[in-house]
Chains A and B, each alone.
Chain A
């Protein structure tokens, strides 16, 4: 289990991480989303002991990651800016990992290279961006860590390989009860992968939620009545967003999905359609309920 306790990290005048606390249990895939410069990568680098926090501490299985680096044998970081030894092949790079990670599994590495359709003995320099990321992912997973930290996990991967990587990662979590932290700009990318999601902005952790409860606690409905309706007609619901055109209304609300459906049916609408909510929508609406301005967090288009 990873415990991040009140960590703060400054770079001269810039506060990159501002009193961050979170817990990542075993067997959990934890998604981190946020705009550029939000502090996501800094958090990952602090978690794996690259950066020393100015205050607070990161504990992995009860050990302080920075002062007890041996604990990092169970913790592998795949950064967004990848580095491989000059002229190294996957085989050569695996020797470096084998030298420092005692649990490095060569058979697993070969298996992963095969799954990712990567050559064993070609210089990594000649690989495409996606192939390099797959090589780094294979190396990280072959080290058999208890926690893998992925920065921009799917960057440069084609849809097929995204699916393969997600499957491999999910299998690892299931089989070995390993955990993963995945950082991305895109909520859609993490939607079908993560168990928990956290939103970062300005070095702060704005919110952290379990995905299942997040989805169950929100609903989007389109209802039509035989008379014009206003927001006041739905005062029994916790409405986040309301749009109406005469007798037709689109409602986005928070609260139990089943209860909201029952309440709406009791109003005897001509039409009731419960629409699927994307995680992004849920997240944004959730932020709105907490009083954050979505535009300031995700930029002009609100994504």
Chain B
């Protein structure tokens, strides 16, 4: 343990942080205690009031502590690494870099815990104290969850800052690096994911966002009640801490005052800034390219011509360039740095090309992947979406006349006036029951594969999934009477070892065939099936 922790340095850092930490403890407590006291005192004329208080709602500081308190304490503690004189002093002490980092980090976490627990205790007492006959209750589990969540989120933030400190030589760079570590992967992943989803309407949003949420989610953004978010955060904390301590031991002391521990890292940070700022331009280009590919005259007749607004794209790229160069100026404060940054501009261009190419390639792969009923082992029905279209006054079908109703099957049942017990009306019930009965029948498999091919075929020629339905399913009769019913269903197609989530269009008749198999399996209540019919 002596190699990783130094009690003397821990105590010394606790002492050094005493003043700012106590100040923040008072601030975090007063910030929430004052409105709480005011709220309770307003109830003084009520003879007796009882109820339960949501702890996280009255102690909002629990969410802000990881974002404000931890970065301040981390920067106060580790700022010595950014100037030569203090850096010389601390690194001449008889303890390893790992011990120095871990001991100081522990001191920061100790003060954070004191702030979280101390302020929570005061707020909890205020909630429980009978003031003018007003008694509020607290759920112990909720309090523990909120406090634990705030502490874990603080640990996550501390790990991020520890890594940033280990990678940078100035305070400004540390802040940039921490922001990039915190937000950049999340932002890029969600942005590219939403682009792919936009280009591929046959891809159900849940199919990728659920996995992304699990991967990218952390307690900083709340979600204290989600086990996945807790696990994801804890795994990231372990990885970040291990990485940051390793980086701290490898960090050359002489980089105090320089941008980053290695020139390559500085280039990476600068390119990341440019990359984030160029995401809107990437979005514009990807959506244009995806929709203009294979545009047919039929689609054009619907007014689906998508044009690339060159002015907007140019503006976004200029914005990215400005950010790229401003980052260089702020972090190095050298005009010569701009020349070096220009030399590395092709890297930013390459990253953009890769992002655009990656999105379009993904779109092409998804839009050309069909299925063979013979090789499909089973299909799971995940969700049903109901759409209706009405004609406009001039008889044309257009967006302004488009009306959609999202439902889970049972909403339709209500619309038709079929009453059912409250439980069965829940969206979760239908969606949780259907996947338990995989559709293995030949008819269902053929139907799903055929519908997928049809959806893909029409997607290739039009810009929007809505037009797929319009072109594929609306019969002349339906158009004539001004309305038509089309369902889009989310399915998981099991093809060998691969499971593909797809959103495909089916008619009411086709859906009845699928639900019929479900009915035969006895999974869904009869009235659900009947309602859809």
Contacts and interface: CB of A to CB of B under 8 A. Distances in A.
B85 A48 contact: no
A50 B254 CA distance: 8
A219 interface: no
Interface in B11-62: 11-12, 15-16
A74 to B, nearest CB: 8
Contacts of B80: 83
Interface string A50-87: 11100000000000000001111101110101110100
A88 B85 CA distance: 15
A72 B89 CA distance: 12
Contact of A49 (B86, B89, B92, B252): B92
B423 interface: no
Interface stretch (B93-101, B266-274, B355-363): B93-101
Contacts of B414: none
A283 interface: no
A192 B447 CA distance: 100
B523 interface: no
B84 A52 contact: no
A81 B256 CA distance: 14
A51 B96 CA distance: 13
Contacts of B8: 98-100
Given A69-B96, A81-B85, A100-B6, A49 B91 contact: yes
Contacts of A77: 88, 92
Contacts of A95: 12, 15
A83 B84 CA distance: 9
B9 interface: yes
B292 interface: no
A100 B88 contact: no
A49 B11 CA distance: 23
A49 B85 CA distance: 15
B208 interface: no
A73 B99 CA distance: 14
A73 B6 CA distance: 13
Interface residues of B, number: 26
Nearest to B2: A70
Contacts of A51: 252-254
Which of A72, A95, A100 counts the most chain B CB atoms within 10 A? A100
Interface string B64-87: 000000000000000010011111
Nearest to A85: B16
Contacts of B6: 100
Nearest to B10: A99
Given A95-B15, A99-B8, A100-B6, A50 B86 contact: no
Contacts of A76: 92
Contact of B85 (A69, A73, A75, A79): A79
Nearest to B15: A95
B93 A72 contact: yes
Contacts of B16: 85
Which of B2, B89, B254 counts the most chain A CB atoms within 10 A? B89
Interface size class of A (residues with CB under 8 A): 20 to 34
Nearest to A104: B8
A98 B85 CA distance: 19
A93 B391 CA distance: 82
A200 interface: no
A185 interface: no
Contacts of B87: 50
A76 B85 CA distance: 15
B76 to A, nearest CB: 10
B12 A82 contact: no
A69 B2 CA distance: 11
B88 A69 contact: no
A45 B253 CA distance: 10
Given A11-B254, A79-B88, A73 B12 contact: no
A101 B94 contact: yes
Contacts of A72: 92-94
B85 A50 contact: no
Contacts of A45: 88, 253
A286 B300 CA distance: 93
A258 interface: no
Contacts of B95: 69-70, 100
A207 interface: no
Given A51-B254, A99-B8, A73 B84 contact: no
A144 B253 CA distance: 25
Contacts of A99: 8-9, 11-12
Given A95-B15, A99-B8, A99-B12, A75 B94 contact: yes
A98 B94 CA distance: 12
Contacts of B15: 95
A224 B365 CA distance: 103
Contacts of A49: 91-92
Contacts of B11: 99
Which of B80, B93, B96 counts the most chain A CB atoms within 10 A? B93
B69 to A, nearest CB: 19
Nearest to B88: A79
B12 A100 contact: yes
Contacts of B93: 72, 100-101
Given A50-B253, A51-B254, A96-B12, A83 B94 contact: no
Contact of A83 (B86, B253, B254): B86
B85 A82 contact: yes
A101 B6 CA distance: 11
A50 B92 contact: yes
Contacts of B91: 49-50
8 contacts: A51-B254, A52-B253, A69-B96, A69-B99, A73-B94, A79-B89, A100-B95, A101-B94
Given A99-B8, A99-B9, A99-B11, 14 more contacts: A50-B253, A51-B253, A51-B254, A52-B253, A69-B94, A69-B95, A69-B96, A70-B2, A72-B93, A75-B94, A76-B92, A83-B83, A83-B89, A95-B12
Interface of B: 2, 6, 8-9, 11-12, 15-16, 80, 83-89, 91-96, 99, 252-254
Q: What are the nearest 9 A-B pairs in CB distance?
A: A99-B8, A72-B94, A83-B85, A73-B94, A99-B12, A77-B92, A83-B86, A81-B85, A100-B93
